[in-house]
Amino acid sequence: MAKTRRKSKRSWMQEDKYWVSFNHGVYSISFNIAETFERMSKSKRWKHALMAGVDAHRLEMGHDPKFRVTMIHERNGYAKHCDRIMTRILNNTMDCRGVRRHATGPVYSVHSGNVGYGGRSYGASVSTHPNANYNNSIKSLAHKMVTMLHELAHYVHLCTVYRNVVKGRKRCHDRMFNAIMCEMARYFWGYDRTPMTAGYSIGRGYAPTDHLTSWLTDRLTKELDGEEYPRIMDWVDYE
Ligand SMILES: [Zn+2]
């Protein structure tokens, strides 16, 4: 009985809209957004990435009284917080089978718009459509995977701190956000940059995302041309 329930709980993940496919030469490459979300959110590394983010935040901001987690002095406090928020988004998503309007609380979902979103009470989302700029190329696939990670990093970041505001402008893509994203990219795919070495500066908060997308595109392309990046190819199906 437990087995049947498990199957029905997961069957929604196989709907067509969750499958993203791209062609590269003779190869057909695909991945499943719902399964990828599940894998990303189940990672035990988020707490380490969050701590890296906290350190990056302190380097950039110094002491900030609005910084919620500074109330928690033990490092293990961040770990508990992180486990709690990742369990919340994962369980909520599974409970509503990915349908945001049936959910209470943050979930991961897909939509047909052009961009992704991420936030504390929203959770995260990604478009099911390939990015038209990348012409259904392998960069589309890299862009989709990076966007999924990018939006989840927003969720973790904004569950932890108040949004950074500098000179009246909201700064969602601050150094803390980027440190979380870069760390998770390192755990997932072996990405070898920090926000600073990926081009981050104030006003260039999107630079690491762009760098990571190019980096992942490059690795995927080289893999299909015969080099080996098993950690990356483990995230996609290809034939
Ligand atoms: Zn963003």
Contact in structure between 30 and 237 (CB atoms under 8 Å) = yes
Question: What CA–CA distances, in Å, run from 55 to 6, 78, 142, 175?
Answer: 39, 12, 28, 10
Q: What is the pLDDT of residue 4?
A: 42
Is a pLDDT exceeding 80 seen at residue 160?
Answer: yes
Q: How many domains does the chain have?
A: 1
What's the pLDDT band for 70 if we cut at 50, 70, 90? very low
CA of 123 to the centre of ligand 1 (A): 13
pLDDT at position 74 is 53
What is the rounded average pLDDT for all residues in the chain?
Answer: 86
**Domain membership flag for residue 226:** yes
Report CA(16)–ligand 1 centroid distance (Å): 26
Two structure tokens written together for 192: 């070898």
Is residue 14 a part of any domain in this protein?
no
For residue 67, which phi and psi values (nearest 5 degrees)? -80, 100
Measure 227 CA to ligand 1 centroid, in angstroms: 31
Residue 14 has pLDDT above 80, yes or no: yes
Residue 148 domain boundaries: 33-238
pLDDT of residue 72: 43
CB 138 within 8 A of CB 29: yes
**Ligand 1 centroid distance, CA of 165 (Å):** 15
Residue 89 pLDDT > 70: yes
Q: How far is the CA of 26 from the centre of ligand 1 (A)?
A: 33
**Per-residue pLDDT at 6:** 46
Mean pLDDT of 217-233: 86
Residue 5 belongs to a domain: no
The answer as to whether 69 is a domain residue is: yes
